[in-house]
Amino acid sequence: MRALDWAADEAALNNLPLRIVHASVWERFEGTTPAEDLPEARAEAAALEEVITDAEARARERRPEVRVHAEVLPGEPIDVLVHAGEDAFALVVGHRGHHALVRRQSTGSVGPGIAERAWCPTVVVGDFAPGRPSGQIVLGVGEGTDADSAHVAFALHEAQARSDDLVAVHSLSRQETRHDPPGLGSSAADALLSAAVPARTALERGVVVHRHVVDGPAHHALLQAAQHADLLVLGIRHRHGMIHRELRLTHHAALRHSPCPVALVGVPWPN
């Protein structure tokens, strides 16, 4: 329900319609109108109707100005949602994080599975207790990130739409800090951050940008920054022509432990 609420708010923020999808493996095998003489079929159909009706009513009540369409589609959740999101602004799903879509089985569950395959940004909303808006969007900036990177554009858009500040974070690896002369690694990282989020672009968008270089593992730095964020935005690499992307340690850590929603945005693999 937190994911649904977030999606409704995002649709209102961007003046977009909201499409609510519930994937049903039952309907994949039994058809959209199960046999009336099977009690379990009638019970399943009633349960599906209740899920989607309640979700639609909740979204309409929360954001009356948003056009809402809700439907049950047959198939496995990841397959259904990836297909449904082909032309979407974003796919929004719930995730159980480091607590126990139904019971979370592993990092191979619905949210991460969609992020590996979806061609639009995937926003994963955990089961944290939502707090007041912080006024900050956190952007993870890694090697190869530049001003044309899709996750940079998404983060800038979100910051502009919410009138939030953008906090761009780059973490120096232990290898960089061990082998570079004092200050050299930090200088290169500063240059990377400036190239990824140019001051002129931020000024044109009306977004205040804070650039931070942090020593140590990226997931530690990003999770620390996310403690005071409305959204954590990360790029996820894919090779040209490949369907699956590569979820790395940073992504898994963010999905498990982030105290705010996480947006995973596909970006090309650097040449």
* CB-CB contact of 234 with 265 (8 Å): yes
Is pLDDT of 101 > 50? Answer: no
Average pLDDT over residues 9-29: 87
Indicate the DSSP class of residue 68. Answer: E
Residue in 213, 139, 234 with CA at minimum distance from that of residue 171: 213
**Band of residue 270 on the pLDDT scale cut at 50, 70, 90:** low
For 120-142, how does the pLDDT look when each residue is reduced to its tens digit (9 = 90+)?
999 999 887 777 788 999 999 99
pTM (2 decimals)?
0.85
Residue 93 C-alpha from the chain's centroid: 8
pLDDT value at residue 41: 66
Q: Where are the domains of the chain?
A: 2-125, 136-268
**In this structure, CATH architecture of domain 136-268:** 3-Layer(aba) Sandwich (3.40)
**In this structure, CATH architecture of domain 2-125:** 3-Layer(aba) Sandwich (3.40)
For 61-100, how does the pLDDT look when each residue is reduced to its tens digit (9 = 90+)?
999 999 999 999 989 999 999 999 999 999 999 986 543 3
**Band of residue 187 on the pLDDT scale cut at 50, 70, 90:** confident
H or E element that contains 222: helix 218-226
